[in-house]
């Protein structure tokens, strides 16, 4: 993090690279006294490329292409795609497919949440510059968190065929379903992880995040019988409800001049103006507190997380709660598991519009595919959770920073980064570059 | 002479133009290194994935595309960095990497957590960046040499006497 400072006549704070964000981001902030003249969260979002890359591909190639958009949450991309296409094709997937997909998603939630809580968020709340400096004092906590994360990775690899870009999910089911015995072998590790999530909660309960209360419309899936991952209606904390097929009627994506990522917003302006809304773990807990599993519910109590709660700094607690939920669900799903046979149903393509929303670790992920009668993609639209949160992140910064303008630039920058990071933005999972500094002796 | 456990780790993104070079090099090296005892080749994707892969081995060859600050190196130029986390950290400052945590950070974090294999970094200077494009001509031409370098480093680490 480097700050460029120009104190007179106006103060300019530039954070050219936001550390510990999944991707690359930059924040430009221009202040005059206690007034914000300009605030721009600049991000680089290459996944847009995939929407055109998908055009001309057949439906069965889609689950192999979309997980490449994100190295951290590939399952989310596969799940929104296969469910949408199967609904259009009216495919009857084999018994057990739904449960196996939920189990796969549990692995991704565990992995992504534990990564964020331990390596990205915790240093903010413990006053450490990074996870590396934090490791000196919090080694046991880090090792515990990374062990739980590893379990999530291993579940993804066992079900998905490999963990980076899972290969087994396909339209119609799975190309190969894991054997019952293989999944059962995870039970002792999952039981241990569940008890360790209580230790994680005790650790996170000791964090001291800033309080930041501001009205917000939180949006996520809602399901009457279970905590939603793969299916449900889209709901908001302000009483909005709509199905996936109406997503683009309700939400529009805007080009903003300072960013090559699109900003999503409610077409009707939203409840609190400006159209911005929030997706992610805190939104899910708000909307689905009734279907939290027992340990998850107990951890929410222990952490002091009660709903309604719109303060974005509670997202870390929500991630811990959802990790326990994903572990509990994984235990239940594995105990009841029956290997789908055959692993996939026959698929008959048909022309039409496939839409679906699932809950990626970072929030709802919308996919739309317009297919012709051979199942060739004619148009694709992908609205990732980060582009839905971007506008709200900027609004948060505008609301929060004026109260902190008496801080020096380093501290102001640190607070701004904390706000951005608590949304766990996945800004450009498709690019990653090392910068090399040449040293000659 | 004890055979050491060596892991070759390809980093990068398959659709990131020259950023795919590390993955492609690892894939090609895997074919050549197949059957070498104690040798494993993996494609890790983002650098944060490398953390899990530092455990359980004596040495790691990490291969990735790099961008020199200020563009001091021509695209296609090969780079080798051999040393501990601090040396790697000086050569590969992490904050400009996406995924928050760069490779040097990951190696340093691994060391702080008690797994510190010898790490040799092999890289190629990227020309074209951004999603969707294929490899640049310069990086494509450099790829066979990059693969040979990965292979040579991996074999040399594998045969080195355990320190």
- What is the spatial distance between Cα A421 and Cα A206, in angstroms, rounded to a whole number? 19
B95 neighbourhood in chain A, CB within 8 Å: 1, 17, 19
Min CA distance, A437 vs chain B (Å)?
5
Report chain B (163 residues): mean pLDDT per 10 consecutive residues: 86 84 95 94 82 91 81 84 78 48 79 89 84 86 97 92 48
Query: How does strand B78-82 pair with strand B118-125?
Result: antiparallel
Residue B42: inside a domain: yes
Which residues does residue B9 pair with via DSSP β-bridges, in sequence order? B42, B62
B13 neighbourhood in chain A, CB within 8 Å: 68, 71, 429-432
Query: How does strand A352-360 pair with strand A278-279?
Result: unpaired
Angle, CA A122 vertex, CA A116 and CA A124 arms, to 5°: 115
Residue B49: inside a domain: yes
Residue B1: inside a domain: no
Per-residue model confidence (pLDDT) at position A56: 97
Cα maximum dimension of chain A:
71
- Which of A25, A44, A434 is most worth mutating to test chain B (most B CB atoms within 10 A of its CB)? A434
- What is the spatial distance between Cα B23 and Cα A293, in angstroms, rounded to a whole number? 40
A153 neighbourhood in chain B, CB within 8 Å: 52
Min CA distance, B1 vs chain A (Å)?
33
Q: How do residues A253-309 score in pLDDT, each as one tens digit?
A: 988 776 666 889 999 999 998 999 999 999 999 999 999 999 999 999 999 999 999
| CATH assignment, A48-390 | 1.10.645.10
Q: How do residues A6-17 score in pLDDT, each as one tens digit?
A: 333 455 555 444
Question: How many domains would you assign to chain B?
Answer: 1
Q: Do A49 and B47 touch (CB under 8 A)?
A: no
Q: Do A434 and B132 touch (CB under 8 A)?
A: no
Local confidence pLDDT in tens for the 441 residues of chain A: 333 333 334 555 554 444 444 445 577 777 777 778 888 776 655 557 788 889 999 999 999 999 888 777 899 999 999 999 999 999 999 999 999 999 999 999 999 999 999 988 898 899 887 788 899 899 999 999 999 999 999 999 999 997 677 999 999 999 999 999 999 999 999 999 999 999 999 999 999 888 888 999 999 999 999 999 999 999 999 999 999 999 999 999 988 776 666 889 999 999 998 999 999 999 999 999 999 999 999 999 999 999 999 999 999 999 999 999 999 999 999 999 999 999 999 999 999 999 999 999 999 999 999 999 999 999 999 999 988 998 999 899 889 888 888 888 778 877 888 888 898 887 543 233 333 333 333
Identify the closest residue of chain B to A46 by CA–CA distance: B131
- What is the spatial distance between Cα B5 and Cα B117, in angstroms, rounded to a whole number? 10
- What is the spatial distance between Cα B40 and Cα B46, in angstroms, rounded to a whole number? 18
Place of tokens 């709340």: A125
Identify the closest residue of chain B to A22 by CA–CA distance: B99
CATH number at residue B76: 3.40.50.1450
CB pairs < 8 Å spanning A and B: 154
Identify the closest residue of chain A to B67 by CA–CA distance: A435
Min CA distance, B108 vs chain A (Å)?
7
Q: How do residues A345-377 score in pLDDT, each as one tens digit?
A: 999 999 999 999 999 999 999 999 999 999 999
């Amino acid at each position: 993090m480097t700050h460029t400072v120009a104190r007179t006549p106006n103060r300019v704070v530039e954070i050219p690279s936001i550390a510990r964000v999944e991707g690359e981001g930059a924040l430009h902030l221009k202040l005059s006294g206690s007034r914000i003249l300009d605030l721009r969260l600049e991000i680089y979002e290459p996944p847009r490329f995939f929407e055109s890359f998908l055009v001309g591909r057949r439906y069965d190639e889609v689950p192999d292409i979309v997980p490449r958009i994100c190295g951290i949450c590939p399952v989310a991309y596969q799940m929104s795609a296969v469910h949408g296409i199967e609904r259009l094709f009216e495919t009857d997937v084999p018994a057990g497919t739904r449960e196996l997909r939920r189990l796969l998603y549990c692995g991704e939630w565990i992995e992504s949440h534990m990564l964020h809580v331990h390596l990205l968020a915790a240093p903010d709340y413990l006053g450490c510059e990074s996870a590396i400096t934090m490791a000196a004092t919090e080694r046991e906590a880090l090792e515990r968190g990374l062990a739980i994360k590893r379990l999530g990775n291993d579940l993804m690899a066992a079900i998905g065929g490999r963990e980076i870009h899972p290969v087994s999910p396909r339209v119609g089911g799975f190309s190969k379903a894991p054997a019952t015995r293989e999944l059962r072998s995870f039970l002792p590790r999952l039981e241990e992880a569940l008890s360790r999530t209580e230790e994680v909660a005790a650790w996170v309960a000791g964090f001291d995040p800033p309080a930041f209360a501001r009205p917000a419309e939180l949006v996520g899936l809602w399901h009457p019988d279970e905590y939603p991952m793969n299916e449900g209606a889209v709901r908001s904390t302000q009483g909005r409800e709509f199905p996936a097929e109406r997503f683009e009627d309700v939400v529009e994506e805007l080009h903003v001049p300072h960013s090559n990522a699109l900003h999503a917003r409610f077409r009707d302006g939203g409840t609190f103006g400006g159209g911005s809304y929030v997706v992610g773990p805190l939104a899910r807990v708000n909307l689905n507190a009734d279907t939290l599993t027992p340990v998850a519910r107990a951890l929410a109590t222990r952490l002091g997380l009660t709903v309604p709660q719109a303060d974005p700094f509670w997202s870390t607690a929500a991630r811990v709660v959802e990790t326990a939920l994903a572990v509990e669900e994984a235990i239940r799903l594995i105990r009841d598991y029956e290997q789908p046979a055959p692993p996939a149903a026959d698929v008959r393509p048909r022309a039409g519009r496939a839409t679906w929303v699932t809950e990626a670790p970072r929030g709802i992920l919308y996919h739309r595919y317009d297919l012709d009668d051979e199942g060739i993609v004619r148009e694709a639209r992908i609205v990732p959770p980060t582009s839905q949160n971007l506008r709200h992140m900027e609004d948060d910064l505008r609301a929060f920073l004026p109260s902190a303008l008496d801080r020096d630039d380093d501290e102001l920058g640190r607070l701004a980064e904390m706000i951005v990071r608590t949304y766990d933005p996945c800004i450009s999972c498709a690019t990653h570059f090392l910068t090399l500094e040449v040293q000659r002796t | 002479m004890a055979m050491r456990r060596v892991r070759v780790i390809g980093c990068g993104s398959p659709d990131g133009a020259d950023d795919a070079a590390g993955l492609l090099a690892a894939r090609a090296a895997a074919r050549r290194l197949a059957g070498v005892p104690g040798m494993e080749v993996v494609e890790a994707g983002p650098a944060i994935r490398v953390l899990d892969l530092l455990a359980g081995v004596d040495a790691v060859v990490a291969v990735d595309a790099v961008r020199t600050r200020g563009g001091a190196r021509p695209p296609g130029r090969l780079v080798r960095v051999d040393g501990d986390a601090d040396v790697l950290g000086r050569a590969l400052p992490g904050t400009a990497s996406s995924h928050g945590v760069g490779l040097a950070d990951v190696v340093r974090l691994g060391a702080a957590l008690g797994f510190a294999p010898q790490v040799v970094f092999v890289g190629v200077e990227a020309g074209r960046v951004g999603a969707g494009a294929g490899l640049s001509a310069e990086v494509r031409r450099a790829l066979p040499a990059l693969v040979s370098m990965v292979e040579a480093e991996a074999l040399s680490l594998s045969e080195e006497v355990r320190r």
